[in-house]
Amino acid sequence: MRHHQPTTTIAILGADTVVGRALCALLESSGYCALPIEAHPTGIVDELLDGAHLLLLVPRLDRGVREAFVGAMGKSSPQKAEVPVIVLSTTVEENPPEKERVISVPWPSETKVLIERIEEVLLDECCVD
């Protein structure tokens, strides 16, 4: 049921956490290329996202880090502002960062549900381009 290319790359902000490492392994075992980004990254956001088709934010990532990272997307490379973002949210009240293409997915969730949401977002992205 894959509609994306086998080389689809998913950047994971917070990949240096236990959950982030597990998500990297899970996505790689599901056929994606994982691009790990530390929870407190240094460097230019758009360069950190180089090659990414989607950004996944680990649950309980510091709100300031989350908002700063998403807010900086597209500042040096305007096309990076178009990268869709999935926030794994542990609570219903948790507000995702202000960005048009930010989708909140409840966490924890089953692997199947997460992969389905990723597929939906990637499919929507393909149809928009």
Instruction: Tally Cβ neighbours within 10 Å of residue 80.
Output: 20
**This model's pTM is above 0.85:** yes
pLDDT tens by residue, 7-46: 899 999 999 999 999 999 999 999 999 999 999 999 999 9
Please give the CATH number for the structural domain made up of 9-128: 3.40.50.2300
CA–CA distance, 80 with 21 (Å, rounded to integer): 24
What are the structural domain ranges in the chain? Answer: 9-128
Q: Is residue 105 within a helix (H) or strand (E), and if so which, with residue range?
A: strand 102-106
pLDDT tens by residue, 54-98: 999 999 999 899 999 999 999 999 999 999 999 999 876 556 565
- The letter for the amino acid at 109 is S
